[in-house]
Each structure stands twice: as C-alpha cells, then as structure tokens.
Amino acid sequence: MKDYADWRIVFDADAANRSEIGLEITGVYQSIDNPNKITITGEAPSVEAIKAFFDRPELKATMEQGGVISMPEVKLLSKT
C-alpha cells in the first residue's frame, strides 16, 4: 500500500461491510521492515462467505481508495 495511515482510515470505515458477512478481524500487523506492508488475520463463518466477500466489485474500489497497490495474498485456513 502507499501509506498505512491513509489505508487504515479506509479499512476502519469499511467495518460494516466485513460485519455484514460475519468476518471478524482478529489482528492487523505491520511489517517491521516496511510499515506499509501489512498482514490481517480474521475469522469468517464459512469459506463461501469469505470468497463472496473478496469477489465483491466494491471491495476493489475500496482497496484502490485505501492506496492498495497490489492484489493481496489471501490464505484460507481452517482452525483445528
């Protein structure tokens, strides 16, 4: 992303969209070497819900507004 502070404002403002699908953010972490590189952890009610969330066209617009400069790497994991 271009600037963490600018991104964080947009990210926080988008909380309602995440809440709508039941996505709970459990952590936002900045890289020690590059504060504009982040990792987000969260929990979703289902794989289908999170995939549908990432397929939403408005998400792309929100990420652009927040200064995201490359497609995020997404890893889907199951909790044991």
Are residues 24 and 42 in contact, defined by beta-carbon separation less than 8 angstroms?
Answer: yes
Q: State residue 65 phi and psi, 5-degree precision.
A: -60, -35
**Domain ranges within the chain, ordered by starting residue:** 4-65
Helices (H) and strands (E) in the chain, counts: 4, 2
pLDDT tens digits, residue range 53-68?
888 888 888 888 898 9
pTM of the model: 0.83
pLDDT tens digits, residue range 25-43?
999 999 999 999 999 999 9
